[in-house]
Amino acid sequence: MKILVFNSDEAVKRLYDAELAGNMLVYVDGSVSQEVLSANTDAEVVSLFTTSSLKKEDIERLPSLKCIVARSTGVDHIDVAAAKEKGIPVCNVPRYGARTVAEFTFALMLSLSRRIFDAFHQIRESGSFKTGALEGFDLYGKTLGVIGTGAIGHTVVGIAKGFGMQVRMFDLFPDQKLADASAQYVSVDELLAQSDIITLHTPYTKENHHLLNADSFAKMKKGVFVINTARGELIDTDALVEALKVGQVAGAGLDVLEEERLLKDEMELVKGIESINALKVLIKDHVLIDMPRVIITPHIAFFSREAYQEILQTSLNNIKSFTAGTPTNVVQ
């Protein structure tokens, strides 16, 4: 069986080479491209990470394709509907690294609340050990708004309680076992109005595109902090930039950005971006990167040794299960 593996690194290659012997493995370091697809029209399985997108036209370029394996939980980078039309199962990694992402959420939070990067840059750039401009604030007693209380959000709530924070939660399917005197489910508007810090832990769908937009920012406390380790498209980048400029949002910790796939491979600018809106968002992403009190990381909240190994192992098992005729973790 021919297996086309995009966004492959040495860890992927070592594991797949060892466990998928007898199959034809084609590794591509970069993302999905027309050139690679055209050269591998006989591929039966495609494995990819979120930095690649697999659109309807890409699927149609692979007439022998029988299974798509996402090395991620989210599958918004794959045209699942187009795959279903052709009877092609899309398999994902349904759960991994909830604590990993939750810990990273608090790494961003603490970096902002205690001005860690400001202090680092001050010492590195000027050698100054003055503390006057580096006053931070405690998490204890602050109100944390958690949007999405699945596995990751659930873990974030537990850590927040350990810090002595008050928690306001929103989820379409609330887990009432999480609720207690210090953590309550509320409406989105109540969460926005009451929170000192807001963190996103919900999957991206067309329905929640730009969940945080200009109207949302206007409803927040002045000086709120925003954390996003979920998906960039949950936040309207233009609205966030404006809210930061006027001080409505005091700071942001972002592990994901809208249109981040273009940021990761800016040669797309040379090839021609599909829409002017995507280009506008890309420019705003660069504005965000240069703003004070904004910390941006390259989608690494999931990327601990333990969590990454779990992702690779589950994706490997998904491929093995498919080749054995019993696909697992199929996205419905």
Known catalytic residues? 231, 260, 299
Q: What are phi and psi of 102, to 5 degrees?
A: -65, -40
Element (H, E) at 278: helix 276-289
Distances (CA, A) of 46 to 55, 75, 204, 218, 308: 13, 13, 22, 43, 19
Q: How many whole angstroms separate alpha carbon 160 and alpha carbon 212?
A: 22
The token duo for 66 is 């029988």
Distances (CA, A) of 307 to 62, 102, 176, 229, 317: 31, 12, 27, 15, 15
HSE at residue 317, side-chain half, CA atoms within 13 A, is 12
The token duo for 187 is 């409406």
Q: How many whole angstroms separate alpha carbon 96 and alpha carbon 244?
A: 32
Burial of 34 (0-12, 13-18, 19+ CB in 10 A): exposed
Which residue do the tokens 């980078």 mark? 77
Q: Provide the angle, in degrees to the nearest 10, between the axes of the packed helices 98-113 and 305-323.
A: 150
Most distant pair of Cα atoms in the chain: their distance: 65
CA angle, residues 46, 313, 204, in degrees to nearest 5: 65
**Which CB contacts under 8 angstroms, 24+ apart, belong to 158-164?**
158/102, 159/102, 159/103, 159/106, 163/106, 163/139, 164/139, 164/140
Pairing of strands 45-48, 67-70: parallel
Buried/exposed code over 168-179 (b: 16+ C-beta within 10 A; e: otherwise): bbbbeeeeeebe
